[in-house]
Chains A and B, each alone.
Chain A
Amino acid sequence: MVEPIFDYQFRLILIGDSTVGKSSLLKYFTDGKFSEMCDPTVGVDFYARLVGVKPGVRVKLQLWDTAGQERFRSITRSYYRNSVGALLIYDITKRRSFEHLEDWLEEAKIHIEPHKAVYMVVGHKADRDQERAVSTKEGKNFAEFHGLRFIETSAVSGQNVEEAFQLITKDIYQMLEKGLLKIEDDWDGIKTGYAQPKETFTLEEGEPHEAGCC
Chain B
Amino acid sequence: MSASDDDFQFENVEEDDLVAVTKKQSSTEDVERDMKAVSLQDAHPPSPAKSPAEIRDQLAKEEVGQEVTEEKKQSVLQKLQDADQSAASGGWGWKGLGNVGSNLLSTATSSVSTLTHSFGEGFDKFVETVEYSLGAEDPEEFAKREYADVPKSKEGVVTDQVAPASKEEPIATVDSVDESDEGWFGGWGMKGINTVVQGTTSAVKKTGSLGKNLVTGGLGVLETIGKKTYNVLAEGDHGLKSTIQGSRQKSSLSQMLREAKEKAKQQSQQDEEYEETRKAHFGAQFDDFQGLVQLEALEMLSNQCEGRVQSVLATFDPEVLEVLKKELVSIKDVFELKDLDEDDEDEDRDHEFDRLMNEYIGQVGLTVTAERIINVQEKMRKWIMENSQELEEGTHRPPKEIHEFAIQFLAQITACSIEMFHKIGQLLLTEKNAPLTSYKNKANGLACATRVLCTEVGIVATKFSQRLNAAAAVTEESDFVNALITNVYLEATNSSTYIQDGFQLLLPVLQQSAIEAHSAK
Contacts and interface: CB of A to CB of B under 8 A. Distances in A.
Nearest to B281: A2
B426 A74 contact: no
A1 B426 contact: no
Contacts of B239: 197-198, 201, 205
Interface residues of B, number: 40
Given A43-B427, A48-B290, A78 B300 contact: yes
Interface string B198-242: 000110111000000000000000000000000000000101100
A121 B283 CA distance: 35
B198 to A, nearest CB: 8
Which residue, B283, B294, B368, B426, has most C-beta atoms of chain A within 10 A?
B426
For the residues of B in contact with A, the DSSP-based class is: helix
Interface string A99-128: 000000000000000000000000000000
B65 interface: no
Interface string B277-314: 11001011000101001101100110010000000000
B290 A208 contact: no
A46 B430 contact: no
B426 A44 contact: yes
Interface string B130-154: 0000000000000000000000000
A1 B296 CA distance: 19
A78 B305 CA distance: 12
A2 B286 CA distance: 12
A212 B201 contact: yes
Given A204-B240, A212-B185, A212-B201, A43 B426 contact: yes
B442 interface: no
Nearest to B422: A43
Contacts of B430: 71-72, 75
23 contacts: A2-B274, A2-B283, A3-B274, A42-B367, A42-B426, A43-B423, A44-B426, A46-B297, A47-B290, A72-B430, A75-B426, A78-B301, A79-B297, A79-B300, A198-B239, A204-B237, A208-B186, A211-B186, A211-B189, A212-B202, A213-B205, A214-B205, A214-B206
Interface residues of A, number: 31
A185 interface: no
A192 interface: no
A75 B423 CA distance: 11
A62 interface: yes
B301 to A, nearest CB: 7
Contacts of B252: none
B189 A72 contact: no
Nearest to A197: B239
Contacts of B278: 2
A57 interface: no
Closest 3 CB pairs of A and B: A211-B190, A43-B426, A208-B186
A75 B205 contact: no
A78 to B, nearest CB: 6
A15 to B, nearest CB: 15
Interface of A: 1-3, 5, 42-44, 46-48, 62, 71-72, 74-75, 78-79, 188, 197-198, 201, 204-205, 207-214
A71 to B, nearest CB: 4
B241 to A, nearest CB: 11
B271 interface: yes
B192 interface: yes
B170 interface: no
Given A42-B427, A43-B426, A212 B297 contact: no
B412 to A, nearest CB: 14
A210 B281 CA distance: 44
B423 A46 contact: no
A42 B425 CA distance: 10
Contact of A62 (B186, B201, B293, B367): B293
A208 B189 contact: yes
Which residue, A1, A79, A205, has most C-beta atoms of chain B within 10 A?
A205
A22 to B, nearest CB: 16
